[in-house]
């Protein structure tokens, strides 16, 4: 069956708001390490990992063996009506590395479910449905997760179970905070937070939910130390802080295990998903015990942390820690960042991210005008030359990369050569336009 035929069948039966990338979408049929192969037999270096989800690479025996061992026992599911050893072990491991005091862990299937749960906990604990969120954020696709998502192109509805006030994003390329130094940005943001609390809320806000580095938003981030300054204000009001670590967790930023740790402050809850399952469905929340235990109704999740995904999750976390992938993210991330900056491309307005989270924003030469058409060109050029990257940002003009944390220096350099050629082609297109 050809890919064209599969695309037609996809379009006929799947929702039209699920859009595969590329003018000619591809089907990935196998993978190994940091490489994937499509249905036509072409192999690509993968710098996107299925949106930062294949975190330790493809076909990792430690993960497959752990899952197979569980499958061989004949129990893929039992439900939380019964004790699940794999789930308890995984929760203990996650609690231990979370940095959250007195931690308890709820296991779910996705980032959306994790954030929904965090919002449920915060609103119940604080007996308030008022939430602070951040412009340009993405937190998932349930009603509550969409309600705290600050991007028009992802906001499919205004219906909301929560009442949201939005803080500024860390964008200092454009907008009212453009060009501010780190210290000025933090000072103005804190002043803005005080003004938002005084003017758009009834005071008793439940929580702030924020990504340390905005994923879908194109890796826009506030300066280090921002959340410490913000938390001081939140603490004056008893407002909780939820750090959405769905993209930034498990050492991806290189310098820290969690994104929040760049800010010298500890959140009340963190949410995780994507990479911890390395493809198996796994997400969850770590919360201080008294917050996690605040629900006064029975609640459970049929599939969350089932024996299969919990086995995978444990194998992934063990692998991340035993191979010190955080250090690899720091080291190889630096090669990538230095390489992209060194290209000095006139169509790149900003290079962003940390560790193995890297994005660059494409603009028309000599301006700050977003150039989504150049992002598309870079996507197509990189694909044609054997590299998969992603797209994002408020204007669809940001190229995003989040390769497996196992990426080698040689692979980083191989990808950089392809990126350099793609940027040169996009620049020629911009000049010709
Ligand atoms: C920061 C962040 N939070 C939450 C989500 C939602 O996760 P999921 O797609 O697993 O529901 C995403 C997905 O991209 C994300 O990037």
Considering the chain, what is the average pLDDT of its residues?
97
In a mutational test of the pocket of ligand 1, which residue from 116, 269, 274 has the highest number of ligand atoms less than 8 Å from its CB? 274
Using DSSP, state whether 244 is helix, strand or coil: strand
358, containing H or E segment: strand 357-362
pTM: 0.98
Q: Residue 333: pLDDT above 90?
A: yes
Residue 285 CA, ligand 1 centroid: distance in Å: 13
What atom of ligand 1 comes closest to residue 109's alpha carbon? 10
211 within ligand 1 shell (Cβ under 6 A): yes
**Helix ranges (DSSP H) in 148-225:** 182-199
361 within ligand 1 shell (Cβ under 6 A): no
Residue 138 CA, ligand 1 centroid: distance in Å: 7
Atom 7 (ligand 1): residue with closest C-alpha? Answer: 111
In a mutational test of the pocket of ligand 1, which residue from 139, 143, 393 has the highest number of ligand atoms less than 8 Å from its CB? 139
Determine the Cα–Cα distance for residues 305 and 105; give it in Å rounded to an integer. Answer: 10
126: number of Cβ within 10 Å:
20
What pLDDT is attached to residue 1? 57
What pLDDT is attached to residue 116? 98
The proportion of the chain whose per-residue pLDDT surpasses 90, expressed as a percent, equals 97
Determine the Cα–Cα distance for residues 166 and 205; give it in Å rounded to an integer. Answer: 12
pLDDT, average across residues 192-207: 97
Determine the Cα–Cα distance for residues 428 and 103; give it in Å rounded to an integer. Answer: 53
| pLDDT tens-digit series, residues 108-121 | 999 999 999 999 99
277 within ligand 1 shell (Cβ under 6 A): no
pLDDT, average across residues 304-328: 98
Ramachandran sector of residue 218 (left: φ over 0; alpha: ψ -120 to 50; beta: rest) = left
The proportion of the chain whose per-residue pLDDT surpasses 70, expressed as a percent, equals 100
217 within ligand 1 shell (Cβ under 6 A): no
Q: Would you list the DSSP string of 97-165?
A: HH--SSEEEEEESSHHHHHHHHHHHHHHHHT--EEEEETT----SSHHHHHT---GGG------SSEEE
What pLDDT is attached to residue 300? 87
Residue 406 CA, ligand 1 centroid: distance in Å: 22
Q: How confident is the model at residue 3 (pLDDT cuts 50, 70, 90)?
A: confident
Residue 433 CA, ligand 1 centroid: distance in Å: 36
Residue 115 CA, ligand 1 centroid: distance in Å: 9
Determine the Cα–Cα distance for residues 257 and 253; give it in Å rounded to an integer. Answer: 7
What pLDDT is attached to residue 352? 98
pLDDT, average across residues 300-319: 96
pLDDT, average across residues 221-245: 98
pLDDT, average across residues 84-105: 98
Using DSSP, state whether 40 is helix, strand or coil: coil
75: number of Cβ within 10 Å:
14
Atom 8 (ligand 1): residue with closest C-alpha? Answer: 111
Residue 273 CA, ligand 1 centroid: distance in Å: 7
Atom 1 (ligand 1): residue with closest C-alpha? Answer: 246
111 within ligand 1 shell (Cβ under 6 A): yes
Of 94, 96, 119, the closest CA to residue 107 belongs to: 94
Q: Residue 433: pLDDT above 90?
A: no
Using DSSP, state whether 216 is helix, strand or coil: coil
């Amino acid at each position: 069956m050809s890919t064209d035929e599969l695309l037609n069948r996809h379009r006929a039966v799947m929702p039209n708001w699920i859009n595969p990338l590329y003018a000619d979408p591809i089907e990935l049929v196998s993978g190994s390490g940091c490489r994937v192969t499509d249905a036509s037999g072409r192999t690509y270096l993968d710098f996107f990992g299925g949106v930062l989800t294949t975190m330790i690479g493809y076909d990792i025996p430690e993960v497959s063996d752990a899952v197979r061992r569980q499958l061989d026992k004949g129990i893929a599911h039992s439900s939380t009506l019964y004790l699940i050893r794999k789930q308890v072990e995984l929760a203990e491991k996650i609690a231990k590395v979370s940095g959250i005091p007195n931690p308890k862990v709820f296991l779910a299937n996705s980032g959306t479910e994790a954030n929904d749960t965090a919002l449920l906990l915060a609103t119940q604990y604080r007996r308030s449905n008022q939430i602070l969120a951040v412009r340009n954020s993405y937190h998932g696709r349930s009603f509550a997760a969409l309600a705290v998502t600050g991007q028009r192109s992802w906001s499919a509805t205004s219906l909301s179970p929560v009442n949201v006030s939005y803080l500024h994003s860390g964008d200092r390329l454009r907008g009212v905070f453009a060009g501010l130094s780190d210290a000025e940005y933090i000072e103005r943001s804190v002043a803005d937070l005080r003004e938002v609390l005084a003017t758009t809320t009834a005071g008793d806000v439940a929580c702030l939910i924020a990504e340390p580095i905005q994923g879908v938003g194109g890796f826009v981030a506030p300066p280090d130390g921002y959340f410490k300054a913000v938390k001081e204000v939140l603490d004056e009001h008893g407002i909780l802080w939820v750090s959405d670590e769905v993209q930034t967790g498990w050492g991806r930023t290189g310098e820290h295990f969690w994104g929040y740790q760049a800010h010298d402050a500890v959140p009340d809850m963190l949410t995780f998903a994507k990479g911890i399952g390395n493809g198996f469905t796994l997400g969850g929340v770590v919360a201080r015990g008294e917050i996690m235990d605040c629900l006064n109704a029975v609640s459970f999740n049929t599939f969350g942390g089932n024996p299969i995904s919990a086995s995978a999750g444990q194998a992934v976390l063990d692998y991340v820690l035993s191979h010190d992938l955080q250090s690899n993210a720091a080291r190889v991330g630096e090669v990538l960042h230095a390489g992209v900056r060194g290209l000095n491309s006139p169509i790149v307005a900003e290079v962003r991210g940390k560790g193995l989270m890297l994005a660059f924003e494409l603009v028309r030469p000599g301006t700050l005008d977003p150039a989504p058409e150049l992002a598309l060109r870079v996507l197509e050029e990189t694909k044609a030359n054997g590299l998969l990257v992603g797209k994002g940002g408020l204007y669809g003009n940001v190229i995003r990369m989040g390769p497996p944390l196992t990426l080698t220096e040689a692979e980083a350099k191989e990808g950089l050569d392809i990126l350099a050629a793609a940027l040169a082609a996009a620049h020629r297109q911009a000049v010709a336009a």
